[in-house]
Structure 1
């Protein structure tokens, strides 16, 4: 079962097909540069399906950030693992119109807490491109610390560990 989590301003809910157009647009844009993009429609669809399939395969995956009340979608928060990720990774993205308003911080903190309490994961990491300073600052605001010894899917990535 995929949970729906609530924060002060957000509902973190399962992905639906109505989320695909904005997701596809983000992945095709330069904003996806720190997520391996820009991506083709085919590659973006694979990631979209991956975010959903992990719930069935791993017991975690991605949730969309939706505004309480209005239903406006601001982005996504997710926990990734499996053959492509050495550890459970907490990740996020925010659509351009929602950037800088604290939604990723709120969503990532709530999902991190869910992972600890419900899934009993002892640790999460966030993998990121060295140039992705906004995500690095967010990881630090969440209380994560650089872990230079952590395994990483890309040797050029930096790793923040959430305790």
Structure 2
């Protein structure tokens, strides 16, 4: 009985957030494949979505994406093999390495930015510019809010 009642309820925040993420990822990576980047997968977004054009440290990518440094290291290895990034010495600290996009990586980043802008424009058109702007504002507030345990 409880299960059937639950299906009628509005999905909780976790379900809505995951549905949103998976739909956006599916559209983004399908379109990236059509535009010349067929070997990228959504997991690569933990690096590519946060990567600066001038390069980023793996520790910064881990902190920004919420992934463990070891996961980022594995993803960077995959992206090096695919030709999207390379490791270079950090000019600010020669002991550290920067993850720097290659020409192929920069192409992907530009295309991903354009695709995401188109996805957002389509959503704004569908629900109205003001409603979409308010949705993003509130969603960003929720995303930045400390967890209940941290309070």
Q: Same fold (TM over 0.5)?
A: no
Higher strand share: 1
Q: TM-score, normalised by structure 1?
A: 0.26
Instruction: State which structure, 1 or 2, has the greater radius of gyration over its C-alpha atoms.
Output: 2
